[in-house]
Structure 1
Amino acid sequence: MKLKKVLALTLAACMVCTSMVACSKNDNKTQGNDTNTSQEGNKEEKPGATTGGKKVLSVTTWDNDTSPQFQAIIDAYEAKNTDVEIKVIDTASDEYNNSLGISLSAAQSDPDIIWVKDMGSMLQMVDKNQLLQIDDFIKADNLDLSVYSGGAEQLQYNGASYALPYRSDWYVLYYNKDLFDAAGVEYPSNDMTWQEYYELAAKLTSGEGSAKVYGGHNHTWQALVTNWAVQDGQHTVVEKDYSFLKKWYEEALSLQENGYIQDYATLKTANIHYSSVFKNQQCAMMPMGTWFISIMMQSQTSGETNFNWGIARIPHPENTESGYTVGALTPIAISKNTDEPELSWDFVKFAASKEAAEILAQQGVFTGIQTETSLKTISSAEFFPEGASNVEALTYTNYFFDRPLDPKIEEIRQVLNEVHEMIMIKSYSIDDGLAELTKRVSDIKGWN
Structure 2
Amino acid sequence: MKKIISLSLAGTLLVGLSTGCATTKDAVKGGSGAASSGDNKPVTLKMTVLPDDQDTFKLVLDEFKKENPNINVQIDTIPQQQYYDKLRLQLSSGEDIDLIGGNMDVFLDTGILEPLDDYIKKSNMDVSGFGPLYDNLKVNDKTYGLPYRKSNWMLYYNKTLFDQMNVPYPKADMTWDEFREQAKKMTKGEGANKIYGAFLHPWAQTWYMQAVQTGASIIDKDLTPFKKALQFRMDMENDGSIMSWAEQITTSAHYNSAFQKGNVAMNLIGDWHVAQLRQAEQEKKISFDWDVVPVPHPPGVPANTSLATPVSLMLNKNSKHKDEAFKVLQFMTGAKGAKIFASKGFLTGYTNDEIRKAYIGDGSMKPKNIHYFVEQKEYPEYPLLPGVKNILVNNVYKQEGEMALTKAETVDQAIQKIGERVQKEWADKYAKDFKASKK
* Correspondences of 1:4-83 after superposition (within 5 Å): 55=44, 57-62=46-51, 64=52, 69-78=53-62, 80-81=64-65
How far apart in 2 are the matches of 1:150 and 1:366?
15
Aligned-pair CA distance for 1:337: 4.8
How far apart in 1 are the matches of 2:117 and 2:356?
30
Aligned-pair CA distance for 1:375: 2.2
2:245 counterpart residue number:
264
- From 129, 139, 159, the equivalent of 2:111 is 129
Describe the superposition over 1:143-173 as per-residue Cα deviations: whole angstroms up to 9, x where unpaired.
2222322433332222332211212333221
Change (3 A) 1:422 1:206: same
Query: What amino acid does structure 2 have at the position aligned with 1:326?
Result: L
1:325 aligns with 2:325: no
How far apart in 1 are the matches of 2:90 and 2:172?
44
Aligned-pair CA distance for 1:338: 4.8
Change (3 A) 1:184 1:390: farther
1:89 counterpart residue number:
77
How far apart in 2 are the matches of 1:98 and 1:421?
27
How far apart in 1 are the matches of 2:64 and 2:301?
46
How far apart in 2 are the matches of 1:385 and 1:318?
27
2:264 counterpart residue number:
283
User: Is the 1:78–1:85 contact (alpha carbons within 8 Å) kept by the matching residues of 2?
Assistant: no
User: Is the 2:54–2:77 contact (alpha carbons within 8 Å) kept by the matching residues of 1?
Assistant: no
Aligned-pair CA distance for 1:74: 2.2
1:149 aligns with 2:131: yes
Aligned-pair CA distance for 1:306: 4.4
How far apart in 1 are the matches of 2:86 and 2:202?
23
Secondary structure in 1 matching 2:375: coil
1:403 counterpart residue number:
382
How far apart in 2 are the matches of 1:58 and 1:263?
44
Change (3 A) 1:161 1:54: closer
1:391 aligns with 2:371: yes
* Correspondences of 1:151-230 after superposition (within 5 Å): 151-230=133-212
Change (3 A) 1:399 1:136: closer
* Correspondences of 1:328-367 after superposition (within 5 Å): 328-338=309-319, 341-367=322-348
How far apart in 2 are the matches of 1:277 and 1:240?
36
Aligned-pair CA distance for 1:269: 4.9
How far apart in 2 are the matches of 1:341 and 1:324?
36
Q: CA RMSD for the aligned pairs?
A: 3.1
Query: What amino acid does structure 1 have at the position aligned with 2:381?
Result: D
Deviates more, 1:404-413 or 1:159-168: 404-413
1:113 counterpart residue number:
99
2:31 counterpart residue number:
none
Query: What amino acid does structure 1 have at the position aligned with 2:77?
Result: I
Deviates more, 1:95-104 or 1:346-355: 95-104
User: Is the 2:290–2:367 contact (alpha carbons within 8 Å) kept by the matching residues of 1?
Assistant: yes
1:30 counterpart residue number:
none
1:412 counterpart residue number:
392
1:101 counterpart residue number:
88
Change (3 A) 1:85 1:239: closer
Query: What amino acid does structure 2 have at the position aligned with 1:60?
Result: V
Structure 2's unaligned 5+ residue stretches are 1-41, 433-439
Query: What amino acid does structure 2 have at the position aligned with 1:409?
Result: V
Structure 1's unaligned 5+ residue stretches are 1-52
Aligned-pair CA distance for 1:383: 1.1
Aligned residues: 381
How far apart in 2 are the matches of 1:342 and 1:54?
11
Query: What amino acid does structure 2 have at the position aligned with 1:75?
Result: L
The structure having more radius of gyration, on CA atoms, is 2
Query: What amino acid does structure 2 have at the position aligned with 1:107?
Result: G
- From 194, 213, 228, the equivalent of 1:247 is 228
User: Is the 2:58–2:75 contact (alpha carbons within 8 Å) kept by the matching residues of 1?
Assistant: no
Aligned-pair CA distance for 1:242: 2.1
Query: What amino acid does structure 2 have at the position aligned with 1:116?
Result: G
Secondary structure in 2 matching 1:152: helix
Secondary structure in 1 matching 2:56: helix
How far apart in 1 are the matches of 2:407 and 2:79?
33
User: Is the 2:347–2:374 contact (alpha carbons within 8 Å) kept by the matching residues of 1?
Assistant: no
1:375 counterpart residue number:
356
How far apart in 1 are the matches of 2:46 and 2:279?
28
Secondary structure in 2 matching 1:137: helix
User: Is the 2:161–2:265 contact (alpha carbons within 8 Å) kept by the matching residues of 1?
Assistant: yes
2:26 counterpart residue number:
none
Secondary structure in 2 matching 1:127: coil
Aligned-pair CA distance for 1:89: 1.6
Aligned-pair CA distance for 1:114: 2.4
Percent same amino acid at aligned positions? 26
Aligned-pair CA distance for 1:216: 0.7
Length-normalised TM-score, structure 2: 0.76
How far apart in 1 are the matches of 2:96 and 2:253?
38
How far apart in 2 are the matches of 1:374 and 1:383?
17
